C-alpha cells in the first residue's frame, strides 16, 4: 500500500472549490492508501495569527474535514504541532537546503510582493518544513494542487540530496498526485478565476442556506445572449461549471438549451443553482456543528492521530540520526 501525506493549512474555511477540487479525492484515497492527513498549524504561523485565534482555526478546519468524510478510523488525522519530531527533521534538512534555491521559489517571491513587511525566515524555509512533513512518513504520493507542485519538486530534491549525501537509499522521492483530468477547478462567483479562500468569491461549506442564496443571486453574469447558439460569456460559463458539479444533468441541459435559444433568465438559473448547492453543503454544515459541539470526539481523534503519526515520525528520526552519525556514547 502506498503512503500518502497531505497537509491542510489552518487558515480560512473550506469552500466548494476545496471540496470538489481536493477533499473528494482525499475520500477516495483514504480507502486505497495508508493516508496521513494533517492540519499544518506550524505553517500557519508564517502569517502571525493571534494566539486566541489559532486554536479555533485549527478546530474549525479539522471539523470541516471530518464533516466531509475524512475518516480517522482509516486515515491518520493529526495536528502538525502535535508531532514535534517534524521540527527536528526540518532542522536537519535545513542544513542542506540552500538559501539561493529557497529564494528562487515562486511562492516565496510572491510573499515578498504580497507581505513585504513580514518576510520571515519561516517563509523562506516553508518548503523545507513541507518536505519534512512529507518524507518523515516516507510518503510515495502527495495530493496537491498546481500551486504546490514546485514545493513538491523541492521535496524530491531534498530527499534525493539527503540520500546522496549519506550514500543511502533512505527517503523515497514522493510524487505529486494531482488526479490529472479528474481534477475539478471550481470557478468563483465574481466572473473570472477560480474560487479562493481570500478572493471573496466563494461559497463556504459552513455557509447557511440563506448566505448561499444571497451569494449566488449576486454572482456576476452578463446582459444575456443575443444570438441563438452563442457561447456563454466567462461569468455565465462559470455558473454552468458549478451547476455541472452540483445539479442533475437534466437541470444543466435545461438551462443550456434556454441559453442557446436566448430565453434564459439568469435569476431562475441562480435560484436553481443555489438550491442544488445547498443540497450538497447542508448535510456537511450540520455535521460541522455536531462535531464542533462534541469535544470528546475531537480529543479522541487528535490524540489517536498524534499517537500514530508520532510512532511513524519518531522511527524516521531515530534512523535519520543514525545515518547522519549521531550515535549513542
Taking CB under 6 A as the rule, does residue 292 contact ligand TRP?
Answer: no
Binder to ligand TRP among 3, 4, 6, 97 (CB under 6 A)? Answer: 6
* SS3 at position 304: helix
Taking CB under 6 A as the rule, does residue 7 contact ligand TRP?
Answer: yes
Binder to ligand TRP among 16, 66, 102, 130 (CB under 6 A)? Answer: 130
Is 114 catalytic? The answer is no
> In terms of Cα–Cα distance, which of 63, 61, 65 is closest to 25?
65
CB of 116 to ligand TRP, least distance (A): 20
Taking CB under 6 A as the rule, does residue 39 contact ligand TRP?
Answer: no
Q: Of the ranges 96-104, 116-124, 142-150, 232-240, which one interacts with ligand TRP (CB under 6 A)?
A: 142-150
Catalytic residue among 197, 258, 271, 315: 197
CA dihedral 97, 99, 103, 106 (to 10 degrees): -10
State how far the Cα of 253 lies from the Cα of 259, in Å rounded to an integer: 10
CB 234, CB 191: distance < 8 Å: yes
| Helix locations, the chain, DSSP H | 16-18, 24-32, 51-68, 85-94, 99-103, 106-114, 121-124, 126-135, 149-166, 209-217, 234-246, 249-260, 266-293, 295-324
CB of 126 to ligand TRP, least distance (A): 7
Cβ neighbours of 164 (radius 10 Å): 10
DSSP state, 75? S
Cβ neighbours of 59 (radius 10 Å): 18
Is 244 catalytic? The answer is no
- Per-residue x/- mask for ligand TRP, residues 145 to 184, rule CB under 6 A? ---x--x---------------------------------
Q: Of the ranges 130-138, 176-184, 192-200, 214-222, which one interacts with ligand TRP (CB under 6 A)?
A: 130-138
Q: Of the ranges 5-13, 162-170, 178-186, 220-228, which one interacts with ligand TRP (CB under 6 A)?
A: 5-13
State how far the Cα of 314 lies from the Cα of 73, in Å rounded to an integer: 21
Binder to ligand TRP among 4, 40, 135, 136 (CB under 6 A)? Answer: 40
CB of 32 to ligand TRP, least distance (A): 18
- Per-residue x/- mask for ligand TRP, residues 45 to 84, rule CB under 6 A? ----------------------------------------
Taking CB under 6 A as the rule, does residue 21 contact ligand TRP?
Answer: no
- Enter the C-alpha cell of residue 282: 447542508
CB of 198 to ligand TRP, least distance (A): 13
Cβ neighbours of 219 (radius 10 Å): 23
Q: Closer to ligand TRP at the Cβ: 133 or 207?
A: 133
Taking CB under 6 A as the rule, does residue 309 contact ligand TRP?
Answer: no
State how far the Cα of 315 lies from the Cα of 208, in Å rounded to an integer: 44
> In terms of Cα–Cα distance, which of 322, 316, 293, 326 is closest to 67?
293
Count of positions on this chain that bind ligand TRP (CB under 6 A) = 13
Taking CB under 6 A as the rule, does residue 138 contact ligand TRP?
Answer: no
Catalytic residue among 59, 109, 111, 300: 111
State how far the Cα of 54 lies from the Cα of 214, in Å rounded to an integer: 29
Is 194 catalytic? The answer is yes
State how far the Cα of 316 lies from the Cα of 85, in Å rounded to an integer: 9
* SS3 at position 308: helix
Which residue is at the shortest CB distance from ligand TRP? 7
Residues near ligand TRP (CB under 6 A) are 5-7, 9, 40, 43, 130, 133-134, 142, 144, 148, 151
Residues identified as active-site: 111, 194, 197
Amino acid at each position: 500500500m502506498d503512503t500518502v501525506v497531505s497537509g491542510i493549512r489552518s487558515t480560512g474555511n473550506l469552500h466548494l472549490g476545496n471540496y470538489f477540487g481536493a477533499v473528494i479525492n482525499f475520500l477516495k484515497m483514504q480507502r486505497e492508501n495508508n493516508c496521513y492527513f494533517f492540519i499544518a498549524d506550524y505553517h500557519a504561523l508564517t502569517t502571525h495569527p493571534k494566539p486566541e485565534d489559532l486554536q479555533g482555526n485549527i478546530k474549525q478546519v479539522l471539523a470541516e474535514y471530518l464533516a466531509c468524510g475524512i475518516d480517522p478510523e482509516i486515515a491518520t488525522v493529526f495536528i502538525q504541532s502535535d508531532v514535534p519530531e517534524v521540527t527536528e527533521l526540518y532542522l536537519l534538512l535545513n542544513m542542506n537546503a540552500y538559501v539561493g534555491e529557497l529564494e528562487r521559489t515562486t511562492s516565496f517571491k510572491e510573499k515578498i510582493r504580497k507581505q513585504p513587511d513580514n518576510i520571515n525566515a519561516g517563509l523562506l524555509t516553508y518548503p523545507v518544513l513541507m518536505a519534512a512533513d512529507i518524507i518523515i512518513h516516507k510518503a510515495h504520493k502527495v495530493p496537491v494542487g498546481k500551486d504546490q507542485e514546485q514545493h513538491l519538486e523541492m521535496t524530491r530534491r531534498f530527499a534525493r540530496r539527503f540520500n546522496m549525501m549519506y550514500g543511502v537509499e533512505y527517503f523515497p522521492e514522493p510524487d505529486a498526485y494531482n488526479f490529472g483530468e479528474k481534477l475539478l477547478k471550481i470557478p468563483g462567483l465574481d466572473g473570472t478565476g477560480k474560487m479562493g479562500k481570500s478572493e471573496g468569491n466563494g461559497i463556504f461549506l459552513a455557509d447557511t442556506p440563506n448566505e448561499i442564496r444571497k451569494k449566488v443571486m449576486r454572482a456576476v453574469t452578463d446582459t444575456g445572449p443575443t444570438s441563438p447558439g452563442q457561447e456563454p460569456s466567462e461569468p455565465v460559463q462559470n455558473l454552468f461549471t458549478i451547476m455541472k458539479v452540483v445539479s442533475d444533468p437534466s437541470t444543466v441541459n435545461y438551462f443550456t438549451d434556454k441559453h442557446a435559444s436566448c430565453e434564459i433568465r439568469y435569476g431562475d438559473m441562480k435560484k436553481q443553482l443555489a438550491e442544488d448547492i445547498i443540497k450538497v453543503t447542508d448535510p456537511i454544515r450540520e455535521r460541522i456543528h455536531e462535531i464542533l459541539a462534541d469535544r470528546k470526539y475531537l480529543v479522541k481523534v487528535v490524540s489517536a492521530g498524534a499517537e500514530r503519526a508520532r510512532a511513524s515520525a519518531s522511527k524516521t528520526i531515530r534512523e535519520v540520526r543514525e545515518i547522519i552519525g549521531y550515535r549513542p556514547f
